[in-house]
Structure 1
Amino acid sequence: MRITEAAKQYYEKMFPGYESKFLETDPEFIERFDNFAFDVVVNQDDLDDRTRLMAILSVLIGCQGIDEFRAMLPAALNFGVTPVEAKEIVYQSVPYLGIGRVFPFLHAVNEILTARGVELPLPGQATTTMETRLEAGIQAQVDIFGESMQEFWKSGPEESKHINHWLAANCFGDYYTRQGLDYKQREMITFCFLLAQGGCEPQLISHAAANIRLGNDKSFLIKVISQCLPFIGYPRSLNALRCVNEATVK
């Protein structure tokens, strides 16, 4: 078994002093995975470690990788992701995955932060109230997607237009308006939630375009996809790449 020095060094940065049990039980597998994920992939581009780990946490929520999320959250914290940012990643995932799929991750982040001596609850990050969230959510939609979203909240057939209202008030007014992450970070992690769960290609194209509009350009999104590939596999990574290409030509 030969794990490269670069992979060993990166692994040590993520998990100081920890030695994987797979070295004993699955040595051939871990050689290839670690060499690929922690040498080839991390040295493919110049995405910084903190952003890389925020993206990885997000795709792990998106693909329901709870065990790997538990493993990677301490690495993210070691790379400078703050407890507030970690919590905001989990909160932001709720409107895109639903509480049924996010609940285990909320428990995991609480357990890991508590074990590291972080006092909960963390300082509040909300900037809206139940009375102001709709107006603030509409403005967030306009800021992210453009002026065409100004009236979107009241559009649609009578029997379902309430969902567009909820999208503005709840998804954007309750979550995007929170402090702790800015719009560019929230759009990046939303892109990750969508690409990792699959079956959301129309929304993925829309959010790829929103990322690009905010300054997370095509090159950046390809870097994000590349760094997440070992954690979500090739099919969803290639689908995401196609969606980015479609968003670019629109």
Structure 2
Amino acid sequence: MKRREFLKTGAKLGAVLTALNLGFSELLAKPSTKIKEITMNLTKIAKENFERLFGKQTPPLAKTDPEFFERYVNFAFDESLKFSSKLEEKQRLMLVLGALIASGGLSEFKIMLKASLNAGVKPEEVQEILYQSTPYVGMGKALEFILASNEIFKELKIALPLAPRANTTLENRQEKGLEIQRKFFGSAIDKGNAAAPNDEKHIRAFLSAHCFGDFYTRGGLELKFRELLTFVFVSALGGADAQVKAHVAGNLNIGNDRSILLATITTLIPYIGYPRSLNALAALNELSKAKA
């Protein structure tokens, strides 16, 4: 009996010591976390912009990678914004969503999607960005983002499916798409279609009917913004230099001037990096005059 009582007492004492140990470990851990948070040097503007979009709760990345987080937030939410004032906040957020889809940044997309919805971007606008991305990034990539967005919509109690916004039929989609192409690219579209070899004319027809007829004609986003969004898709993809030039021209023709395109490139830099941003800038410089 004495031996059993001793073992029970020993077990209880061991449990108490373990609990004290754990509590002591937590106390030791807390100061280092606070030090990291205190020494993180965010600018006033970056901090205000970040907290307005994401709230005041400290993100996990700020705890695990405070130096990285500090530089990212200061650059993306202060420095780059100083030179992209030509765009409204909602426009910037929607273009960032488009860039993240094209570049494959699913984790950041989910974070930015919630921030965008908090900032007033409508679910139907998000859905239109997702749908329009498909002919540029392909179904294999677009589907991941559509499914991730649907999960977030459900989490936020946004009922699915959203209201339909298609404005073409199977019979008129090609002609309606061709009409939009002419607005962007003028007579070059008809000349290109006429000059195309017979064995590839179906691809030209696909572009008119599917890419433009199925998506550009939809409700939910203005036509000028859709063309700006396409510039973002092809810029963020990389390796699509000819398409970037074509959509610089399309944007200039539809009324998105150099200042708008330059503000867009500036907005994208934190999310797609410098090589793709500089390629887009080179295309812009080739087709529009830089200010002295």
Q: TM-score per shorter chain, which class?
A: over 0.9
Aligned partner (choices 57, 69, 72) of residue 18 of structure 1: 57
Structure with greater Cα Rg: 2
Paired position in structure 2 for 1:6: 45
CA contact (8 A) 1:190 1:207 kept: yes
CA RMSD of aligned residues (A): 1.4
Supply the distance in 2 between the matched residues of 1:123 and 1:154 (Cα, whole angstroms): 38
CA contact (8 A) 1:153 1:168 kept: no
Percent identity between matched residues is: 45
Runs of 5+ in structure 2 lacking a partner?
Answer: 1-39
- The TM-score, its normalising length taken from structure 2, stands at 0.82
Paired position in structure 1 for 2:80: 41
Q: Deviations over 1:14-59 (max 9, x none)?
A: 1124321122111111111111111111223312110110110011
**Matched AA of 1:13:** R
| 2:120 is equivalent to residue 87 of structure 1 | no
Paired position in structure 1 for 2:23: none
CA contact (8 A) 2:244 2:283 kept: yes
* CA separation of 1:154 and 1:58: change in aligned 2, threshold 3 A: same
The secondary structure found in structure 2 opposite 1:67 is: helix
Supply the distance in 1 between the matched residues of 2:221 and 2:239 (Cα, whole angstroms): 26
Q: How does 1:89-238 map to 2 (within 5 A)?
A: 89-150=129-190, 152-153=192-193, 155-238=195-278
Q: Deviations over 1:189-225 (max 9, x none)?
A: 1001100110001010000111111111111101011
CA contact (8 A) 1:7 1:34 kept: yes
* More helix, by proportion: 2
Supply the distance in 2 between the matched residues of 1:177 and 1:151 (Cα, whole angstroms): 23
CA contact (8 A) 1:144 1:183 kept: no
